[in-house]
Structure 1
Amino acid sequence: MLTEERRQHILGLLRRDGKVLSSKLSADLKVSEDTIRRDLREMADAGLLHRVHGGALPKSPTAYSYKTRQNQAPLAKQEIAKAAARLIRPGQVVILDSGTTAFLLAQNLPPDLKATLVTNSPPIATVLMQHPQIEVIVLGGHLNKDLQVVVGIETVKALQQFRADLCFLGVAGLHPETGITVYDYEEAHVKRMMMSCAAEVIALASSEKLGTVAPYVVNPVNALTHLVTEPATAAQLLAPYEEMGLGIVRK
């Protein structure tokens, strides 16, 4: 088998199984583990997968930059945002994480909704400022300009003051084994604290993020209570999360 054929085979296995093991690939393809490790390293360098000890996992398709992410899966994000907005009840305290889907959620809140929203996202705060009934609490800290999000120790400390009803969490990747992952180390710390401060934690994730990973782990999947995704998401993609007890919201 030629190198390119072998690598296409590896990508096919990743799509089918959600992971590959170097030892099994070596045995099945009848090449050395050194060859497989080189394949995985070069494929990771090309952005095709995410290397882990002993193998590889599908890489999250999510871009790092907020501006770039605004153009990724816009229809799915709009559907997710509308479904998520319907979960908020009057009088609740809600932590609204940063991200382009959360931004759309803020835009889709009913104009008569009375609630308190806590956010570390300047773009979301700007949207909520126009809402006639929402009380807005903006968390302080260091502004990451690429992500358009506030992070750091001051953000984490501020979150410790809240006991929210809901937390809507943006993710880069959601993998049944690896867990909730993101691309920024400091953002992972903030998201972890957000999750610990809410009675229910709801992930906002389009289908392209399911079964994929990014470099920094926030928490295991079972730390979530719900997953909101678009209506067209395939049942087999959702099955592992349903087995973990997550409530699946698609409309």
Structure 2
Amino acid sequence: MSFTTRSQRESLLAWTIVALAIVQVLVMFLPNLGVGQTVAVRAEAVRTPLTPAGWAFAIWAVIYLWSFLYAVYQLLPGQRYDAILAVIRLPSAIVFALNALWVVAAQLTGLSFVTVLIAAAELLLLIVVLFNIQPDAFVLTKRRRAFIHWPFLLFTGWISLALFANISSFLAFINIRLFGLGETGAAAVLLLCACTLCIGVQRQLRGAILYALPVVWGCVAIAAANVQHGPHYWMAALAVLAAAGVAWFTYWTRARSTRLRNSPWRG
């Protein structure tokens, strides 16, 4: 009886993940049905020096596609009782649900305190997912890494930066200056906070390239936007330095991790 119940529960959760992976894409088209405004329009209404150039959001196409591939992979009969998937299924399902909820909230109310809270919860769960995969990351087959690990690296990297951009937009929306700073100064502080978080996560991930890529991509897009819309050249320069810093730390951490794994003195 317990086996049947467990099988049914795992099957239901696996199918729920597939459904939510699709829903998080479909809700983006609600404005086409007259419900709310697109996220792009909402973001433009509260543009700050931490808002990336519009082309940066093309990364969502890759994130959504890879999320769907993960959803299909974990549904396969051979993966039903996989130990790693058993741990990450529930938080990954909640991540997809929160992402869909964030899109709907942004479309209806703009980049508000609600969207900040949702993004923060989403990032926390993404980190939980990654840290549950991380102990086995180096022994997974390439196929399993591609379907289980890599999509969440990309997803987490982007949200790590997007959360702080959301905070910047929310502060602009309610016209509050962070620590009494001007808009550009507040954006610079938030960018440094984002990079500090990314470096902390990257330290635990031991230099994961797919985590760093969306962060670097976003920082470059922030630099481009500050040149185009400001121009805030010093903010653009800071964003470029942030991208370079994250890239360098990723390289250094990855090289150090490789040396430690290959060391004959490793315990």
In which range does the TM-score fall when normalised by the shorter chain? under 0.3
So what's the TM-score if we normalise by structure 2?
0.27
* Larger fraction in strand: 1
Q: Whose relative contact order is higher, 1 or 2, with alpha carbons under 8 Å and at least 6 apart?
A: 2
Whichever structure has more helix as a proportion of its residues is: 2
